[in-house]
Amino acid sequence: MFLFYNIIFLIIFSSFIVLFYKTIKLAHSKESSEGVNNSRILILVVVFFVVFYVTYSLILGFPFFPYPFDVFILIWIGMISSSQILYKRYRKKREYPLNSYTKNEEFTIKLESKRKATHMIILLLIAVYFGLGYLVYDLIDLGIQSVEKTNSNIWGIPALTFPRDHSTWFIATFGAIGATLLFLIPEIFRLFSPENFMLKKATVLMRGGEQYNVSAAIQLSIASALVLIILPDIGISMAAITISVIGDAFASLFGRKFHNHKISINPTKSYEGTIGGMLCGFISGVIILIFSYDVFSTLVLVSAGALILGAIDILDIKISDNLLNPIVIGFSMYLISLGLFFIN
């Protein structure tokens, strides 16, 4: 069963490389340089994950998705895929509203708030960090023990196969991957068969550039999963994700509400939005990291994260900040934490 599951998962995740390659061609045909750049980075991320998965599961001899999460994720993929396929089969025959994507300049505060609320789904990982991971582990373990004989006969494994001490990191990472799959499977239809996309109404919360680009929610969830997988410090991973999500959300909201002072190097941004985003990102980062580090280290690390957030917001980089923020902030904070460790 171990080898069987590994083969299935490798096929599934490797297929996303093909998806992002096709997205590059789509974005290129529509002259979307940001879409091309985003998809190229996403291919590199997925390739890294596949290599990491093979190394972790085969060389080390431990499944990356241990029992019963291997079963959960297959069921999850099946549910999402079935929902999309059933929608395609039984949807009402009506013309797809091509004008449903909202132009950037037409985004209202209300629409922007709803858009950022979808991004904040990833912050459910914070609940895992603050104890929910252990609760989930205990409940699953209790359920397995209550049907031990039946479970052993079906799956051949009578108990959880990873220690409770690892539950916070693993369940957080599993949640980020699950969120990615939730958006990514319907995304195939949104990009290449839009009339069959089952979440058509959600496109009003997407910017015009996303019509031929991987959506911001997917970029954010993939970047968050990568940070959780690679960085050995879950506190910094969570702080980086929180700074990215909260900071970016409030930068957009403040920028749309108070936009009197444009930034000369990037007139699409305002000082009010950038400073507001940095401040909110800083506060949220302190709340997360203060439980793992002393006050001085927390302030240094979170200040660095907030400054990087502001820099990425200001610079007109043809790569989505939803993809860049968690990765750049997370790795920068971790490197600084190593420097603080050696200084102390």
Residue 258, SS3? coil
Closest CA to 155 of 4, 321, 307: 4
For 191, the token pair is 């990009």
For residue 174, count CB atoms less than 10 angstroms from its CB and return exposed for 0-12, middle for 13-18, buried for 19 or more.
buried
Q: Please tell me the distance from the alpha carbon of residue 27 to that of residue 42, in angstroms, as a whole number.
A: 14
Q: Where are the domains of the chain?
A: 1-91+100-228, 231-344
The whole-number pLDDT of residue 2 equals: 60
Q: Please tell me the distance from the alpha carbon of residue 329 to that of residue 306, in angstroms, as a whole number.
A: 8
Confidence of residue 96 (pLDDT cuts 50, 70, 90): low
259 DSSP assignment: -
The model's pTM: 0.88
Question: HSE (CB half, 13 Å, CA atoms) of 99?
Answer: 1
Q: Please tell me the distance from the alpha carbon of residue 179 to that of residue 175, in angstroms, as a whole number.
A: 6
Tens digit of pLDDT for each residue in 270-329? 888 899 999 999 999 999 999 889 999 999 999 999 999 999 988 878 888 899 999 999
Tens digit of pLDDT for each residue in 131-184? 888 888 888 777 777 666 555 555 555 556 667 777 788 888 888 888 888 888
Closest CA to 216 of 236, 178, 185, 187: 187
The whole-number pLDDT of residue 300 equals: 95
More confident residue, 293 or 341: 293
The whole-number pLDDT of residue 153 equals: 56
Closest CA to 26 of 135, 188, 216: 188
Structural contact between residues 49 and 229, judged by C-beta atoms closer than 8 angstroms: yes
What are the C-alpha distances in Å from 39 to residues 43, 118, 214?
6, 21, 7
Confidence of residue 8 (pLDDT cuts 50, 70, 90): confident
Structural contact between residues 21 and 41, judged by C-beta atoms closer than 8 angstroms: no
Closest CA to 237 of 175, 300, 295, 285: 285
Q: DSSP secondary structure string, 212-249? A: GS--HHHHHHHHHHHHHHH-S-HHHHHHHHHHHHHHHH
Q: Please tell me the distance from the alpha carbon of residue 189 to that of residue 198, in angstroms, as a whole number.
A: 8
Both ends of the chain: CA-CA distance in Å? 48
Confidence of residue 97 (pLDDT cuts 50, 70, 90): low
Tens digit of pLDDT for each residue in 197-255? 888 888 888 877 788 889 888 999 999 999 999 998 999 999 999 999 999 999 888 88
Q: Please tell me the distance from the alpha carbon of residue 121 to that of residue 43, in angstroms, as a whole number.
A: 24
What are the C-alpha distances in Å from 338 to residues 229, 334, 344?
18, 6, 10
CB count, 10 Å around CB of 175? 23
- Is residue 21 scored above 90 in pLDDT? yes
Tens digit of pLDDT for each residue in 51-69? 888 888 777 777 777 777 7
Structural contact between residues 278 and 309, judged by C-beta atoms closer than 8 angstroms: yes
For 96, the token pair is 């797809």
For 231, the token pair is 């960085």
